[in-house]
Amino acid sequence: MKNAEDAELLEIEGREVRVTHPEKLYFSKEAKLSKLDLVRYYLSVAPGALAGIRDRPIVLKRFVNGADGEAFYQKRAPSERPSWVRTVTLAFPSGRTAEEVVVDDAAGLAWIVNLGCIELHPHAVRSADLDHPDELRVDLDPGPGVGWEDVRAVALEVKAFLEENGLVGWPKTSGSRGIHVNVRIEPRWTFTEVRRAALALSRAIERRVPTLATSKWWKEERHGVFLDYNQNAKDRTTASAYSVRPLPDARVSAPLHWDEVSECDPADFTVLTMPRRYAALGDPHADMDVAPGSLKGLLELAARDEADGLADAPWPPHFRKMRDEAPRVAPSRARSAPKAEKPAASGSASRSPRSKMPLLVIANSPSEEAAKAGLERWKDKHPEVAGLLAVDDILVDRMRGRSSTWTRIRVNLRHVPEDLRPQQETPDPDDDPTKEK
């Protein structure tokens, strides 16, 4: 029921949840959805959505101005919260700690959606053991111009490879252009070990389908579908099953059966269609917790890769430098004439020098639309150069700071003759929230 303060009071499994500004539009372009519509969507698929987040610390990604507005990440639980909302203390690679929310039931789910959490971003650990993940996450991220059929083909290759290593993958659409394959594992390995296993998997898939898949961390070195092994590093989260994504059609990250992967269309899964699908089919991932698997096979593969001279791949920038990690510098910033290398230490992997990539930063903005408009202005200013760019020479980076997100657009001039390459100009727009004013 509504009250005089423009709020809807919901009773959910014996608990009251107050939905403030229930009629506020959170989607207004293609789908027309209010905040209360989002709450009702999540309640309609609550058992499935809770299966992906229950008993896990969750990062609150808040869209307080709706899907078209700028989102911010909130790790710390709000000080004003219901007494039945649980928290745990999570430590981060930076050394900081935070009390993060743990959602246990449908009322807690509705409560975080009321805070503006369109998406759900759980960590890969349970509250009783915050140091040993029980989930390996395979994030298939297609590059510019990569078709959905290639993403599906890579996903099916991942399925086969996992089965060869005694593991079961559970696929879902990412809710955007990719596919996630989650693997339930025994909580015996550290984050570093799980990431090491994910890197071995990514490299194996790249070897199997080299024209379709890549394990390269730096965007300017990628092609095809990127297997983002770093999603398994501590403090990284991905949108969980049934999460709504901030796209104009209110698309959802939809759990799938494997026999659906080869024919599915991610646009079919939205806030408006998923409740009917859930009511008719139930949750395709309902049995995910039945038989956790072992990483033994993947870790043995990682050991063989390392013995063959493959160094650890780059970690995310806020992590400390790791032993045997490849240089954590983008090829575009690499020295064009590297100094003579010191002899490799005994037992460490040798590394080949990399050539410098000719990249320009075109735009920085919290608004992806504004950044893309800046790219079009740059193309109009340099039409001959723009005509020489391949689809994957345009790099759209979704950047994330401690509490803010923004879009950076770069272009790779590798296909442009040197005498035609423009110089770096001030990005337009140049609204990077991490820069000092």
Going by C-alpha positions, the residue among 70, 45, 66 that lies closest to residue 116 is: 66
Helices (H), 167-218: 191-208
Burial string for 99-124 (b: 16+ CB within 10 Å, else e) reads: bbbbbbbbbbbbbbbbbbbbbbbbbb
Q: What percent of the chain is predicted at pLDDT more than 70?
A: 92
Alpha-carbon distance 324 to 161, whole Å? Answer: 26
> Which is higher by pLDDT, 145 or 333?
145
How does residue 244 score in pLDDT terms, banded at 50, 70 and 90?
A: very high
Q: Considering just the CA atoms, what is the radius of gyration of the chain in Å?
A: 22
Average pLDDT (417-421) is 92
Tens digits of per-residue pLDDT, 276-329?
999 999 999 999 999 999 999 999 999 999 999 998 998 987 788 887 777 777
By DSSP bridging, strand 179-184 and strand 170-173 are antiparallel
Do 176 and 246 contact (CB within 8 A), yes or no?
A: no
Tens digits of per-residue pLDDT, 351-397?
455 557 789 999 999 888 899 999 999 999 999 999 988 888 888 88
Q: How far is CA 276 from CA 11, 44, 140, 246, 280, in A?
A: 23, 9, 27, 21, 6
3-state SS, residue 335: coil
Is residue 174 pLDDT above 80, yes or no? yes
pLDDT for residue 321: 80
Structure tokens at 399: 């950047």
Is residue 332 pLDDT above 70, yes or no? no
Is residue 344 pLDDT above 50, yes or no? no
Going by C-alpha positions, the residue among 218, 247, 222, 226 that lies closest to residue 369 is: 247
Average pLDDT (95-121) is 96
Going by C-alpha positions, the residue among 272, 277, 276 that lies closest to residue 248 is: 272
Alpha-carbon distance 135 to 125, whole Å? Answer: 7
Query: CA 191, 197, 201, 207 torsion: positive or negative?
Result: positive
Residue appearing with tokens 């991490």: 434
Residue appearing with tokens 């805070």: 115
Tens digits of per-residue pLDDT, 33-42?
999 999 999 9
Phi-psi region at 242: left, alpha or beta (left = phi > 0; alpha = psi -120 to 50): left
Tens digits of per-residue pLDDT, 68-97?
988 999 999 999 999 999 999 999 877 889
Say what the pTM is.
0.82
Is residue 18 pLDDT above 80, yes or no? yes
- Residue count of the chain: 437
Give me the chain's average pLDDT, please.
90
Tens digits of per-residue pLDDT, 185-236?
999 999 999 999 999 999 999 999 999 999 999 888 888 999 999 999 999 9
pLDDT for residue 403: 62
Do 23 and 215 contact (CB within 8 A), yes or no?
A: no
Average pLDDT (99-117) is 97
Tens digits of per-residue pLDDT, 269-281?
999 999 999 999 9
Is residue 338 pLDDT above 70, yes or no? no
